[in-house]
Structure formats: C-alpha cells, structure tokens
Structure 1
C-alpha cells in the first residue's frame, strides 16, 4: 500500500499525529552515519574526547577528496574496490565515503579506538490493509496481510520471511479498489475476473483473525531468539504501518498494542538523512531507482514490498548507514526518537493481551 498510504484518511483513535510535521523539520542525523565533511558529533556511546582521535581527521581528508571526484572517477574507484557502481552520483559518493570510514574505524577498533555498532537483525514489516478509493473520514483500516522480511546485519542478507493473511472483522468483504491495489488478484492487463475475486474472498475468509495471526508472529520471532539472544529492531516504510494500521487494528481486535512494535526504524527518514535528499525522494520506487535497483515481485503485495524495502535497507548498510530506531509510539502518539538516545533493540516479543 506504499503509494496509497499517504492519501489515507484515518479517524482519530487516540493516535494523534501531534508530531506529524516533525519528520520534515528534523535535521539530517549525522550522528547515525557521521559525514566527516563537518565536525563529527558525539554518539551516545562515546565521550566528546573520542572525536579527537586521529582517525576522524583521516576520514575528513578522504571525504574532501571524494567530494571533488567526478561521477566517472567515482565509478572507476568503486569498481577498483569491488563495490557496487550503480546509483546516482550522490549515492556513489556516499558509498565510497562510507567504505573508507568503515575501513578506518575497523582499523581503529583493532587498535582500541572508536567503532560503530549494529543490531543483529532488522525485521522489515509492510502491512496491507482494507481500504476504499475515497476513504470516508470514519473508515477504519483493518490489516489483511502481515508480512515480514528478516535481515541479518552481519551477513547483509535477507535470511527469512513470514507471511500471513488476516480475516477482517468490520469489513469482511474487500472492496474492488482494495483488491486491485494490493495486487493479490490482478490478472492479465489489470483486469479482474469473477474467478479471481472469489479466490481472494476465499483466502480472506479462511484466514485467521488478527489476534491469532499476531500470536503466530510472536512465535516466529521467538523461534529466532529475537530480543533474547539477538538484538533486533523493526523497520517500516514510513510511520503509517505502526502508528496507524497496527494501532487501529489492536483497538478493533480489543488487544493491547505490542511492546516489541512500539519503536521502529522509519527507513524514509533514515534514507533522507543519510543520502541527504528531500522527503519527496523517499518513496519506495524512487529509493530503488536512485540506488540503481528495480522493484522485484508484484507491487502492493505486502511480502514483496517488505522484501524490496529490505533490499534498500541492505544497500544502505552496505553503504555504511547505521540504521537505528528513529520513531516510537507513546501514549497513543507518534513521536520521533532523538539521535542522542541509546541504540536500543526491541524487547522480547510476547503474546497479545486483552484490553478488557
């Protein structure tokens, strides 16, 4: 639902977007992936004196040289280093800077100097939900697909996926627009046939209700020892999945909002801050294009969307971005997580609790 999310009108269910404009106002977070063109800021795990280390002067000098390189010079140097040569000039420039930064910090770490840290795993979530072409102001979106793609940040690979359909409670009959948008039943040249419509109805009708699907999600996360043995974080394409869809769904299902989903990485914020591009250039299709990649699979299929978002996240990690939690839910409100905060992983997942 990536292209449709920004047009969705949602009733206020104590999920007031009090800081909706905060994302646009937020300055690029150089602390996440400091660009040594300017004086580096202090990360939460280091003291001010750490940046007096000579390694940061070396990084700054390398960045200055890279800034003066042409696109062809960047491509040649990346090729020599056996790095990806795809993407626009700014992406290649950032990739080369991050490579040198990573090499210098690895050498520094071996000598007892500063280094970077990552989550062990990042779990990408991209819900599909019920919708209408012109959503009335009181329309409540229900999750109909719960997909996840799991990234191992050490191997930089998508190592596992999860997918479950969900039976909606308030609007069990999907609208034609919703079916077309999700792509679940698209056939031929974007035409829908009666047989296809019946197929989707069967999938939805035979699916488990949301509380049961959430239990399956929790079991899947627990089996992979996320939050216990391994440090992990949730990642989404924007703020809507958690602050709107999951928040509303939990109220409809009369269960409490899960603790493990109260903080997440908004990849649009991370992408914009890291590559220093405006919000208008952080849509899924645009991010893929700017990174020299193409969408793989069927657009608006939640699992395929999750996989493609994960591909962007992997590329950003390869380019040296330390993806970290930057948004959270608190008291039913969407808030930004300051970059000065500690890099915390999501808590161990637990089965849903009733609101009654």
Structure 2
C-alpha cells in the first residue's frame, strides 16, 4: 500500500501537469496557419555560454512608455521553409523571404520597401508544397543570398534611412561591451503574429547561422494579429484577408508572398490608425543574448 503522503505528492504533480496542458490548449491558435511556437520553444535556451544579461533590462528595451514619438512603422512578413506539415519541427522554418515595408504614419504613406529571397542553410531545396504555397521557385532560392548576407542587406536598408529613424539604427557588430544599443525609438516593428521574429529569426535562422538578432530589431514590437483581436475584442484567429474584410476590403496581390503580405500589414496598420484611432502600443518583446539564447514574451 502506498503511503498517504506519496499519493498526495503524485496527485499534486498530476494537477500541475493538467493545469499547464490546459493553459497551452487555451492559448493555442485555432488554425493550422497559426501553429506558432509554444512556451518551450520560445524560452531562454539552457546554455552556460556568456551572455550580456539583457534579460534583466527587458522592460526597457526598444519603445518607451511614451508612444507619442513613434512616427515610423517597419512591417515585416517572413516566409519560411516547410514540408507540408505546418507543425513546427527542427528541420523546417528557415527564412526564405525577407521583406520590410517602411511607413510614415504621419503622412500615411509607404516610404520605401526592402525585399530579398534567402537561401536556407539546412535544406536549400524547397518542397513542392512550399513552392506552391509561397510562389517562390527553386531558381529564386538558388540565386538568393545566404541568411547572413540577407541581414547585411537589411542593415544597408536601415542605414539608408538613418536620417529619419531615431536613434539611427545600429548595424554591424555590437559595441565592444557586447550589448546592443537599445532605448526609446521613433519607429517600431510590426508583424502579423509572433512567429516571424521569435521563431523564424531567433529560434531558427539566427541560431543556425550563429548570428544575433539585429539590435535595431530587438526589444518591444507590435504583433498586429494580437492588436487586432484586442481592439475588436475578438477571440478567434484572424487571417490578413479577414482583417481587411472588417473594412469591406480585399487582399491585394498574392497571399503567402512575403512582400505582398507585408504590404497588407502596412495597409491594415494605417487603417487601424486612421479609422480606429488606435494607440500604437507594443504588445510583445524579444531579446537575444550573445550566446544566442533569447527571451520572448507577451506584454
């Protein structure tokens, strides 16, 4: 016969397990298009390598409490490899398309666009299902820069607009103390969900290629999907076409093209600002240490 205290301890462990499982189910997306990384995938990695200790300063990263100075949004929508099964696994979800749309929210205009395809390191040959979904061809990938080269190209795009973006984006290697310069900015990154930065960049391509998330992308950002659901008080998953339908509009271009999706993200954000009078408030945060461990959270 088991002792009473042993049974009690086992019951407590089972209860804790069930609570965690129910929490994950309650928070999980309701569509296969939104099967994003779970807590274990997005937590800080278990490593003894040197860090900057940035997790201690997570509350101060990127955008300050005063959001009135934000003038520019950088809309990002990444396409990544997959083999037909949308669930995350260690062999998929490397970046293959990296677009960025720079928008002046004061004027309500797109200022500039950045776009490049990216050759993945682990699996440079795309599956037929991946090509069908994204419209990206094997020739596009064969002629594309590597991920590290693509980040350098993005650095150049950010540097090109350093006269507008304040403080000017820090590109290249981090400063001698290893800690990227982070503080109040007049710009903020916007993504459709949190997979683009947290999974495709931090969890996969940055770690595979042993480089850090760019300093200008670190810190707080806006998850447009979460912002939309919070503003309209909707619980269900919303795709980009569903969001546009809120104002009687339709998707322009080809869905699952990173560049076309990023343009629609910019379009929706301008509608939210102009028609819904939303306050630009960051709702997620991500930072990456020198040892490539990272912390991502909802604010």
Q: Is 1:148 aligned to 2:148, yes or no?
A: no
State the alpha-carbon separation in 2 of the partners of residues 141 and 44 from structure 1: 33
Q: Name the structure 1 match of 2:80.
A: 129
The alignment yields a C-alpha RMSD, in angstroms, of 2.6
Equivalent of 1:328, from 260, 267, 285? 285
Q: Name the structure 2 match of 1:220.
A: 157
Q: Name the structure 2 match of 1:6.
A: 34
State the alpha-carbon separation in 2 of the partners of residues 5 and 149 from structure 1: 22
State the alpha-carbon separation in 2 of the partners of residues 242 and 283 from structure 1: 18
Shift of 1:120: 1.4
Q: Name the structure 1 match of 2:42.
A: 15
Equivalent of 1:285, from 229, 237, 241? 241
Shift of 1:253: 0.8
Q: Name the structure 1 match of 2:123.
A: 171
Q: Residue 146 of structure 1: SS of its match in structure 2? A: strand
Bigger Rg, which one: 1
Instruction: Note the alpha carbon deviations across 1:163-194, whole angstroms, 9 max, x for none.
Output: 1010111001000010011023xxxxxxxxxx
State the alpha-carbon separation in 2 of the partners of residues 256 and 227 from structure 1: 21
- How many pairs does the alignment contain? 224
Q: Cα distance 1:290–1:279, how it changes in 2: closer, same or farther (>3 A)?
A: same
**Could you tell me whether the CA contact under 8 Å between 1:118 and 1:323 is conserved in 2?**
no
Q: Residue 117 of structure 1: SS of its match in structure 2? A: helix
Q: Name the structure 1 match of 2:113.
A: 161
Q: Cα distance 1:126–1:118, how it changes in 2: closer, same or farther (>3 A)?
A: same
Runs (4+) of structure 1 exceeding 4 A deviation are 8-12
Q: Cα distance 1:4–1:167, how it changes in 2: closer, same or farther (>3 A)?
A: farther
State the alpha-carbon separation in 2 of the partners of residues 11 and 138 from structure 1: 15
**Could you tell me whether the CA contact under 8 Å between 1:156 and 1:317 is conserved in 2?**
no
Instruction: Note the alpha carbon deviations across 1:132-168, whole angstroms, 9 max, x for none.
Output: 1125733231101000111101101122111101011
Q: Name the structure 2 match of 1:352.
A: none
Q: Where in structure 2 are there 5+ consecutive unaligned residues?
A: 1-30, 45-63, 169-184, 288-292
**Could you tell me whether the CA contact under 8 Å between 2:37 and 2:199 is conserved in 1?**
no
**Could you tell me whether the CA contact under 8 Å between 1:126 and 1:303 is conserved in 2?**
yes
Q: Where in structure 1 are there 5+ consecutive unaligned residues?
A: 18-42, 46-115, 185-199, 338-356
Give the TM-score normalised by structure 2.
0.68
Q: Cα distance 1:8–1:273, how it changes in 2: closer, same or farther (>3 A)?
A: closer
Q: Name the structure 1 match of 2:261.
A: 305
Give the TM-score normalised by structure 1.
0.58
State the alpha-carbon separation in 1 of the partners of residues 214 and 96 from structure 2: 18
Q: Residue 179 of structure 1: SS of its match in structure 2? A: helix
